[in-house]
A and B are shown apart, each in its own frame.
Chain A
Amino acid sequence: QVQLQESGPGLVKASETLSLTCNVSGGYMINYYWSWIRQPAGKGLQWIGRIYNSGSTNFNPSLKSRVTMSVDTSKNQFSLKLSSVTAADTAVYYCAREGRDYHYYYMDVWGKGTTVTVSS
């Protein structure tokens, strides 16, 4: 079955850009959205944004100005860049697949998550 694996630096300096990649194995990327979600320690889930295999994107309005996403279906991977990070961006970052049966998408496959700490 489809498996997702996040990778990237676990430590990022404040004001710099956080970069993560999610590798997709065991399946194809077409006809799905590919998302990033984060979770600060002890807090709830926050959806960051998603990208379709065509490159179409949607972002959380609260993060939109700092987020860039890309997809490379030939490598079966997609990426997240979050610029101008602060301590508030410290969190576990998950990648996920969004699928649907009818009209609305839901996250049906998740990666294990990777912890990113922003240092001052």
Chain B
Amino acid sequence: SYVLTQPPSVSVAPGQTARISCGENNIGSKSVHWYQQKPGQAPVLVVYDDSDRPSGIPERFSGSNSGNTATLTISRVEGGDEADYYCQVWDSDSDHQVFGGGTKLTVL
């Protein structure tokens, strides 16, 4: 069964680049999806299929996936990006969706 490991927290200054990792053995063979959740709100899909963006998501949000780590990159970070971020994959061994534990992004 997949266990997706994310750092509990990441901090970055405004205008800098934030990188949030999602680790699991051979995750590069999976499609990884990322969600942003602001306090009191439902999650929002920000990256799907490793690196594609839904319409309406800024180009500052990008994703990559290789080997044992998938990464969500947020360029030119703004205060409005402060949120919890979750990665997600499909566990084909037991046919269910799996979320990472989540990463709290703090904008200093």
A61 near B52 with CB under 8 A, answer no
Q: How far is the CA of A107 from the CA of B95 in the complex (A)?
A: 16
Instruction: Count chain A residues whose beta carbon lies closer than 8 angstroms to a beta carbon of B.
Output: 24
> Among residues 63 to 120 in chain A, which have CB atoms less than 8 Å away from a CB atom of chain B?
94, 101-108, 110-113
Task: Provide the residues of chain A in CB contact with B101, threshold 8 Å.
Answer: 44
B97 near A50 with CB under 8 A, answer yes
Whether, in the assembled complex, B61 has its beta carbon less than 8 Å from a beta carbon of chain A, the answer is no
Q: Would A104 and B42 be within 8 Å (CB), given that A44-B101, A59-B96 are in contact?
A: no
Whether, in the assembled complex, A32 has its beta carbon less than 8 Å from a beta carbon of chain B, the answer is no
Partner of A35, one of B49, B89, B97: B97
- Cβ contacts B28-55/A at 8 Å (1 or 0 each): 0011010101000111110011001010
Task: Provide the residues of chain A in CB contact with B43, threshold 8 Å.
Answer: 45, 94, 107, 110
Q: Which residues of B contact A (CB under 8 A)?
A: 1, 30-31, 33, 35, 37, 41-45, 48-49, 52, 54, 86, 88-90, 94-102
Q: Which residues of A contact B (CB under 8 A)?
A: 35, 44-47, 49-50, 58-61, 94, 101-108, 110-113
